[in-house]
């Protein structure tokens, strides 16, 4: 919701984060799991960011092998080792509620940024029809 709407409803102190932008990327339908590895670089380039500028990553785990491929393709192995990728557990642990996965991941991201004090976070997921999506959020 808009900040002024939150203020009008008395919720200004409950604003956790700000949506910055999102991008999508296409891939072959039979390779739908690699979508995050295509969308995230576009998102970072759009804002002049590197993977090191992002404090927290929520990357959907449609399958364990798909998540590992994306981490390697994006060069996020060290971020994962430092607990910055799916630190509360990914979809394999927390669930993959079709139609609500993005909302679940975004909620996990903004609450984690507030708890940890990080400034920027990225949510990304693959789409079964051969796409990837990535969104950038900033902590408030």
Give tens-digit pLDDT for 63-107.
889 899 999 999 999 999 999 999 998 888 887 777 788 899 999
Helix 64-74, helix 35-46: angle, nearest 10: 30
- Whether residue 9 is contained in a domain is answered as no
- Whether residue 4 is contained in a domain is answered as no
- Whether residue 2 is contained in a domain is answered as no
User: Residue 126 is part of which domain span?
Assistant: 16-139
pLDDT of residue 80: 94
Beta carbons within 8 Å of 61's beta carbon, 6+ residues apart:
67, 86, 90, 91, 92, 96
Residue 89 belongs to domain with CATH number: 3.40.47.10
- Whether residue 95 is contained in a domain is answered as yes
Q: Which two tokens stand for residue 52?
A: 């090191």
- Whether residue 80 is contained in a domain is answered as yes
pLDDT of residue 140: 83
Number of domains in the chain: 1
Average confidence (pLDDT) over 109-113: 96
Instruction: Provide the H-helix boundaries in 1-140.
Output: 3-8, 35-46, 64-74, 77-81, 91-94, 101-116
- Whether residue 81 is contained in a domain is answered as yes
- Whether residue 8 is contained in a domain is answered as no
pLDDT of residue 121: 98
Q: In what order do the strands lie in the sheet with 131-139?
A: 17-26, 131-139, 120-127, 56-59
Q: What's the whole-model pTM score?
A: 0.90
Average confidence (pLDDT) over 37-60: 96
Buried b (16+ CB within 10 A) or exposed e, 43-56: bbeeeeeebeebbb
């Amino acid at each position: 919701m808009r900040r002024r709407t939150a203020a009008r409803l008395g919720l200004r102190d409950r604003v956790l984060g700000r949506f910055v932008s999102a991008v999508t990327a296409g891939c072959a339908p039979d390779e739908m799991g690699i979508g995050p590895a295509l969308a995230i670089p576009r998102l970072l380039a759009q804002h002049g960011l590197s993977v090191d500028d992002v404090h927290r990553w929520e990357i959907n785990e449609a399958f364990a092998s798909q998540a590992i491929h994306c981490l390697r393709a994006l060069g996020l192995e060290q971020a994962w080792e430092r607990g910055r990728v799916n630190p509360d557990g990914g979809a394999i642990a927390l669930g993959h509620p079709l139609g609500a996965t993005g909302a679940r991941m975004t909620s996990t991201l903004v609450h984690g940024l507030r708890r940890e004090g990080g400034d920027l976070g990225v949510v990304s997921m693959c789409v079964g029809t051969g796409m990837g999506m990535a969104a950038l959020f900033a902590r408030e």
